[in-house]
Structure 1
Amino acid sequence: MTAAVIARQGSPTAARALPLLLAGALVLTAIAYPLSSGSARDTVSWTIVVLGSLLSVVHAALSRGARTGAALLVLVTLTAIAFEAVGLATGFPYGSYRYSDVLGPTLLGVPFLVPLAWLMMAWPSWVLAEHLTRTARPGRRRAARIAAAAYVFAGWDVVLDPQMVQAGYWTWAHPDPGLPGIDTVPLTNLAGWLLAGLVLMALLDLLVARTAVPGPPRIGATAPLLALGWMTLGGALAHSGWLGLPGSAAWGVALAVPVLLVLAVRATARRR
């Protein structure tokens, strides 16, 4: 049964479990990444991205309606291809980089895996931002939500990019200067992800406002938040313990601290 049909039927109990099953499979596959090598690791990478992108579309469809799920897929794919194609051709906004052939078929020079990776990252980032900004003033809530989502989106990449460079999936022509402890990815990449994140999240916020079914989300946010939490903090653990990337591990934890503090403050306020 497709996510669209499930959403029209009001998300029965079995359907509500599907995002959690996908998130669980994603976590288990991510655990396998540092334990694998060679072509097996490439297969694990593809599996992670496919599971993550599927989780995003399914959760969006079940929580906000089939229109939102379908529109999310189209919006993120087109935005990713546009930014990445321009980046490859001009070096803006990320800096000069190139993809390796191991990522397979491309469109405008962009491997098919890349828009799926954006999709995997985009929806959980927006969902977390929505949760973080619920108590913001109504007049400022949308701007705060977009800024928070772009921050989470870019922070996720701070952990992910050094791992992908290490795997040989892409390389930078001029990796310096970079964040302290990360010598393979330039600061221009972070600036580019912040810009791309702001554009994408502004579009995504508008998309949800115009396509979502009326009322609150039909299912909870546990699945995408679990995926996001594991891929950032769990990724930081893998970087420090198995992959020999202590710099990106430290930055992943540091960038997560503001989010964790906001969540802690909100949890404390609810208990009072």
Structure 2
Amino acid sequence: MKVLQATHPKAGAQWISPALWVFAAASVLSHVASVLLHLPTVVGGAMLALSLLMFGLLHGASTYGWRAILFFIAICLGFSNAFENLSIVTGFPFGSYHYSDTIGPKLFLVPLLIGPAYFGVGYLSWTLARAILGDTSGRLRGSLAVQTPVIASFIMVSWDLTIDPMMSTITGNWIWHHGGSYFGVPFVNFLGWYLTVYVFFQVFALYARRLKGPRPDMAGYWIKPLFAYTSIIAAPILSLLFDTQAGGVTDPSGAVWQLHDIRAATALVGLFTVLPFWLLAVFRSLARVGE
């Protein structure tokens, strides 16, 4: 079997490490600014998507090489856009919904910002899964080629559990035609999310296990993505603490949801799903440092 040779950044590219700190900090600040300053979704979303896109591109290139991380981006954008358009037209796999015009221009029926967000958070979820499972090289030897996509997909869906009710039911960035039991979001949406992200994670896993090349050797290799991920943990908590808008909102099914209840529930979900994944990754990374 032919083994792919990873094309790694040149050893002299010392700018990558500080650039990663900049993009990690930018992702945190964009999330905080979006919540505290009530930025329009297209502005805050663009800031977050761009910073996470650049972070994933550079960190991924340092791990897998430029060719491999571009392949990751291509399959992520391709599968996510295809499944989203399929669901908007047919209702499978997420359910019946459509995007409003609040997130900017679209590729077919899906806003352009959605793809970079899939990749940015997807790459962080992938990296957290690697940290939890102890994959220090990124080459997914043995059972890691199956375990990593499974865990990364759960991490990715835990993020959607914290954002979907607020982004759809409260702000109307996308509209669920028949509402849903999770604060206006249908149960099947999260199954669809898992299917979609698992597909492109598994495809990349099969690709990555064929790569060869040096282990990642970058100061703060694990710290940077863990720092970038803190924005995902903090966002629903900040919304609960600082968004004081009261009252209720009615979804298309006629169900009335209280704004405070949505914010409180998503903050709880973040604390007891997103945060534990992050802590597991932190603890495993610290344990390796002490070895």
Normalising to structure 2: TM-score of the pair? Answer: 0.80
2:133 corresponds in structure 1 to 133
Q: Residues of 2 paired with 1:21 and 1:55: CA distance?
A: 9
Task: Report the RMSD for the aligned CA atoms in angstroms.
Answer: 2.6
Q: Is the 8 A contact 1:175 1:186 kept in 2?
A: yes
2:30 aligned partner: 29
Aligned to 1:176: 180
Cα pair distance change 1:263/1:22, threshold 3 Å: closer
Whether the 8 Å contact between 1:20 and 1:222 is mirrored in structure 2 is no
Distance 2:87 2:119 in 1: 18
Aligned AA (1:185): V
Matching residue of 2:246: none
For structure 1, which runs of at least 5 residues remain unmatched after alignment? 1-5
What CA distance in whole angstroms lies between the structure 2 residues aligned with 1:155 and 1:261?
A: 14
Which position in structure 2 is the counterpart of 1:214? 213
Looking at structure 2, the residues matched to 187 and 77 of structure 1 have their Cα atoms a distance apart, in angstroms, of 24
Give me the whole-angstrom Cα distance separating, in 2, the residues matched to 1:167 and 1:118. 19
Aligned to 1:259: 277
What's 2:151 paired with? Answer: 148
Task: Report how far residue 201 of structure 1 moved.
Answer: 1.2
Query: Which letter does structure 2 place at the counterpart of 1:161?
Result: D
Q: CA deviation at 1:247?
A: 0.8
Partner residue, 1:53:
53
SS of the equivalent of 1:163 reads: helix
For 2:67, give the aligned amino acid. Answer: R
Structure 1 outlier segments of 4+, above 4 Å: 267-272
Q: 1:38-187 alignment to 2 at 5 Å?
A: 39=40, 41-134=41-134, 139-165=142-168, 166-178=170-182, 183-187=183-187
Query: 1:235: which partner in 2?
Result: 235
8 A Cα contact 2:164 2:185, kept in partner:
yes
Q: Quote the offset at 1:261 in angstroms.
A: 5.9
The residue type paired with residue 16 of structure 2 is: A
Distance of aligned partners of 1:198 and 1:8 in 2 relative to their CA distance in 1, 3 Å threshold: closer
- Identity among equivalent pairs (%): 24
Distance 2:9 2:142 in 1: 32
Q: Greater share of helix residues, 1 or 2? A: 1
TM-aligned CA distance change 1:151 to 1:100, over 3 Å: same
Shift in alpha-carbon separation, 1:188–1:44, aligned structure 2, 3 A: same
Q: Match of 1:148, as an amino acid? A: I
Residue 207 of structure 1 deviates from its aligned partner by 3.1
Indicate the residue corresponding to 2:257 in structure 1. none
Shift of 1:265: 6.1
Structure 2, gaps ≥5 residues long: 1-6, 244-259
Please identify, of 139-148 and 28-37, the stretch whose mean Cα deviation from structure 2 is larger.
139-148
Of 261, 264, 268, which aligns to 1:246? 264
Distance 1:69 1:258 in 2: 27
Q: Is the 8 A contact 1:7 1:65 kept in 2?
A: yes
For the residue of structure 2 that corresponds to 1:102, the secondary structure is coil
1:271: how far off? 5.4
The DSSP-based 3-state class of the residue aligned with 1:101 is coil
Cα deviation for residue 123 of structure 1 reads 0.7
> Retained in 2: the 8 A contact 1:95–1:189?
yes
AA at the equivalent of 1:252:
G
| Count of residue correspondences | 260
Deviation of 1:106 after TM superposition, in Å, equals 1.6
Secondary structure, counterpart of 1:98 in structure 2: strand
